[in-house]
């Protein structure tokens, strides 16, 4: 099932390939692949994807650093819903994303399977990010 929004569909493609990411990183990847996009548009489509069940929250972390707004930030790591069909990324885009594919730890794998259920598609997708 295709999303009503091209931006949301592309975000899902990115997440499906990299495994998990936080919204600002998704924005940077999107911008490098597809060109000009408004940060607000990406965040809006992520929020709508979560509401629709196409995107799931994996974990929330507090990160220390030197940010313009202070020394801490909250990162919300997102994963795609592997039960939702997604068009594959074109080959030339996959080359640009080379090296961005994440590896799930055993704890993350178990957490994702627990959240999404022990369905064959979920397990197959999660295992594609193992060592």
33-91 pLDDT per residue, tens: 998 999 999 999 999 999 999 999 988 999 898 888 889 888 999 999 988 888 888 88
Q: Do the beta carbons of residue 109 and residue 93 sit within 8 Å?
A: no
- Please state, for a pLDDT cut of 90, what percent of the chain lies above it: 39
Please tell me the pTM assigned to this model.
0.81
| Predicted local confidence at residue 52, as pLDDT | 93
Contact 60, 74 (CB under 8 A): yes
Neighbours of 89 (CB within 10 A): 17
Residues 19, 29: Cα–Cα separation, whole Å: 13
pLDDT number for residue 3: 58
Nearest 10 degrees: Cα torsion 107, 129, 88, 57:
20
Per-residue confidence band for 1, with pLDDT thresholds at 50, 70 and 90: low
Place of tokens 């507090």: 62
1 closest CA partner among 50, 61, 53: 53
């Amino acid at each position: 099932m295709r999303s009503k929004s091209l931006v949301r569909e592309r975000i899902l493609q990115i997440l499906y390939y990299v495994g998990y990411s936080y919204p600002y990183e998704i924005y940077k990847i999107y911008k490098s692949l597809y060109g000009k996009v408004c940060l607000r548009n990406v965040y809006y489509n992520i929020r709508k994807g979560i509401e629709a069940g196409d995107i799931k929250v994996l974990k929330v972390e507090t990160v220390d650093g030197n940010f313009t707004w202070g020394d801490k930030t909250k990162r919300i790591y997102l994963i795609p819903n592997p039960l939702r069909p997604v068009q594959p990324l074109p080959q030339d885009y996959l080359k640009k994303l080379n090296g961005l594919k994440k590896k799930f730890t055993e704890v993350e794998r178990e957490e994702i399977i627990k959240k999404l259920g022990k369905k064959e598609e979920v397990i197959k997708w999660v295992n594609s990010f193992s060592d």
